[in-house]
Amino acid sequence: MVLLLEDDCAPDAREYFEKRLLEKFGLTMKDFFEKGEKIEFGYKLGEYKLEYFPDDPYWRLSGLA
């Protein structure tokens, strides 16, 4: 289930995504990059996956459940 999705139209989409990630989940992208386990299209950290697919180049946060 997708919990947070980077807006593909907004000029400040990445900043907004990162702000919401921190506000809602207490995580930063840096947390995933440094502490997470690398998976095929992103990172897994705890109960979350942060992914970036080549055919849809926007970050998305999903739950593992």
Contacts of 64 (CB under 8 A, 6+ apart): 44, 47, 48, 49
Total domains in the chain come to 1
Whole-model pTM? 0.89
Note the Cα 1 to chain centre separation in Å.
12
**58: containing domain:** 2-63
Whole-number Å distance between alpha carbons of 65 and 48: 9
pLDDT tens digits for range 25-51: 999 999 999 999 999 999 999 999 999
CA dihedral over 27, 29, 33, 34, signed as positive or negative: negative
More reliable by pLDDT, 65 or 42: 42
